[in-house]
Amino acid sequence: MKFTEAEIKGVYIIEPEPREDERGYFLRAFCKDELKKNGIDFDIVQINRSFSKKKGTIRGLHYQKNPHWESKIIQSLQGEIYDVVADLREDSSTFGKWISVEISKENKKMILVPKGCANGIQTLTDDCLMEYFMSGYYVPEAGTGVRWDDPFLKIKWPLKITSMSEKDKNLEYFNNFGKKYDNR
């Protein structure tokens, strides 16, 4: 597995190294030892899947409030997504910044989203099936997020939005998190 740290500290793009032959391929989707060798402490306590029917669907930007913050590793089992990670850690040098990566069944990339960061996706194809390895349990009352159209973050989604949950439409703006921010 190849680990590349993104511009946000603790966010890693993970590229499995498939072994291919005439039958197809075999790859390791998770290896605790490989993560540890790269300075990443991650225990899986839950595995989630989401399926989105329509190209252009937005999910997120989701996270769980402290003390229920969780890390997650996200991969595509079918389709292609535009994955966004926003840093909500006030003590981070990249606080308020966001990055994106395209993840697909074809490129086999995964992304590790650390505790304290929000994650959102936009589907780039129809019929997207995503899998999430979680380091923490889902706690419904701790689940929240940041609006997809937040004027502080200024996320550039690649497609017109075709579908979004009512809950996601009503998430908070980033600048409602208790501090006044400059308009970076």
Place of tokens 């006030």: 90
Is residue 128 within 8 Å of 76, Cβ to Cβ? Answer: yes
Query: Running DSSP on this structure, what letter comes out for residue 146?
Result: B
Distance between first and last Cα of the chain: 35
Beta pairing partners, 25: 20
Token output for 87: 């840093």
Place of tokens 């029917």: 53
| Catalytic residue set | 62, 132
Identify which of 99, 95, 97 has the alpha carbon closest to the alpha carbon of residue 83: 99
Place of tokens 């994106």: 100
